[in-house]
């Protein structure tokens, strides 16, 4: 039994290339291609493995893309349990524009998953829950019912296992209705979920606290892009400014942030240090292209550059 189980219901083979400038109509001649094993929970597992955690990635896998995805994970030494599906794992295609240093990300819907494949996933995860943390990260492929995460959250709750959630759409809403230990949205996702508009960071804190007071999460960690992030609980909140780095990509920073938070939590650190570790891991991920994600040495270096302050009027 592993300490952390990371579930991914719509993993992808991440394909990254570069282009001088993205333009319509013309054939665009791209640069060299990088392939990485992708998907929210897969990426969290990759980072936790690098940080020395006992972690297992469980994800749906099928076809030639699935085989390549697994080969890349095996090369990194990440332990996996594959839920076989008949369809081919999809690819996620990203282009880094050299002129602007912007990333253009094309996310395909993923393969259609059959009911018996979903049930096999539910059965395996329920029978093999981790000792310490269940991470549910990413969206769902077509065919995955909206209550899938909620079913697993209730199973984990029955065993006293905290759940860390990073998702979107109908899958997210039902998951939050079941209640999780920690929910990690970005600012845009939080706005869409709550129907609020944010004029400042205090508005973000109040929206996050509303989820906590409604019993949807004990903690909400909101990433604010270049403004940093906040971590909000029922009676306290903290804010961290972004670490200043020269980014080679923006892809994978959110997943690295989640891994950093889980890493600090597993070490018994207090909540402000969860935020600090999340910020360090997210910043470290910006140093590498595509979804290469963060390296442990860079995370530890970045920790010295992260400052966390209490939001004293968080309950206002």
How many domains does the chain contain in total?
1
Which residues are the active-site residues? 255
Task: Determine, yes or no, domain membership for 137.
Answer: yes
Strand partners, 7: 58, 136
Whether residue 314 contacts residue 242, with contact meaning beta carbons closer than 8 Å, is answered with no
Q: Return the structure tokens found at 281.
A: 């891991």
In a domain, 181, yes or no: yes
Asked whether residue 316 is domain-assigned, the answer is no
How many whole angstroms separate alpha carbon 168 and alpha carbon 172?
5
Beta strand pairing call for 55-61 and 163-166: unpaired
CA dist., res. 239 & res. 200, Å (int): 13
In a domain, 223, yes or no: yes
Q: How far is CA 275 from CA 74, 173, 176, 222, in A?
A: 30, 24, 21, 10
Q: Please state, in angstroms and rounded to a whole number, the distance separating the CA atoms of residues 287 and 297.
A: 12
- We report the CATH number of the domain holding residue 83 as 3.40.1190.20
29, part of any domain: yes
Residue 219, domain member (yes or no): yes
pTM over 0.85: yes
127 is a domain residue: yes
d(CA 139, CA 241): 28
Which of 162, 159, 158, 113 has the alpha carbon at shortest distance from 135? 162
Place of tokens 């990260």: 137
Structural domain that includes position 28: 4-310
Secondary element (H or E) of residue 55:
strand 55-61
Strands 133-137 and 12-19: unpaired
Q: Each residue of 192-205: b (16+ CB within 10 Å) or e?
A: ebbeeebeebbebb
Please measure the distance between the N-terminal and C-terminal CA atoms of the chain and give it in whole angstroms: 43
Per-residue pLDDT tens, the chain, 316 aa: give them.
899 999 999 999 999 898 999 998 888 899 999 889 999 999 999 999 999 999 999 999 999 999 999 999 999 999 999 999 999 999 988 898 889 888 898 888 889 999 999 999 999 999 999 999 999 999 999 999 999 999 999 999 999 999 999 998 889 999 999 999 999 999 999 999 999 999 899 999 999 999 999 999 999 999 998 899 999 999 999 999 988 776 666 677 899 999 999 999 999 999 999 999 999 999 898 887 656 788 889 999 999 899 999 997 544 3
């Amino acid at each position: 039994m592993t300490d952390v189980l990371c579930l991914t219901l719509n993993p992808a083979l991440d394909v990254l290339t570069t282009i001088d400038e993205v333009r319509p109509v013309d054939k665009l001649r791209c640069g060299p291609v990088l392939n990485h094993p992708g998907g929210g929970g897969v990426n969290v597992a990759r980072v936790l493995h690098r940080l020395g955690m006992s972690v297992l990635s469980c994800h749906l896998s099928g076809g030639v893309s699935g085989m390549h995805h697994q080969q890349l994970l095996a090369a990194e030494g990440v332990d996996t349990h594959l839920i076989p599906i008949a369809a081919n794992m999809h690819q996620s295609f990203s282009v880094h524009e050299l002129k602007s240093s912007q990333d253009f990300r094309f996310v395909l819907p993923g393969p259609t998953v059959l009911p018996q494949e979903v049930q096999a996933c539910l059965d395996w995860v329920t029978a093999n829950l981790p000792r310490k943390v269940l991470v549910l990260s990413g969206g769902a492929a077509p065919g995955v019912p909206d209550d899938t995460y909620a079913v697993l959250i209730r199973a984990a709750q029955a065993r006293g296992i905290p759940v860390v959630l990073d998702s979107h759409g109908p899958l997210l809403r039902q998951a939050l209705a079941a209640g999780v230990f920690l929910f990690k949205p970005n600012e845009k996702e939080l706005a869409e979920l709550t129907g609020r508009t944010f004029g400042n960071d205090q508005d973000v804190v109040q929206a996050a606290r509303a989820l906590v007071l409604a019993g949807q999460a004990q903690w909400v960690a909101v990433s604010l892009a270049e403004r940093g992030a906040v971590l909000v609980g029922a009676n306290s909140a903290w804010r961290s400014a972004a670490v200043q780095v020269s980014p080679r990509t923006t892809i994978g920073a959110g997943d690295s942030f989640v891994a950093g938070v889980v890493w600090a939590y597993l070490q018994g650190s207090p909540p402000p240090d969860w935020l600090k570790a999340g910020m360090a891991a997210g910043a470290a991920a910006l140093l590498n292209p595509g979804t290469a994600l963060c390296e442990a040495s860079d995370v530890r270096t970045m920790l010295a550059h992260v400052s966390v302050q209490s939001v004293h009027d968080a309950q206002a």
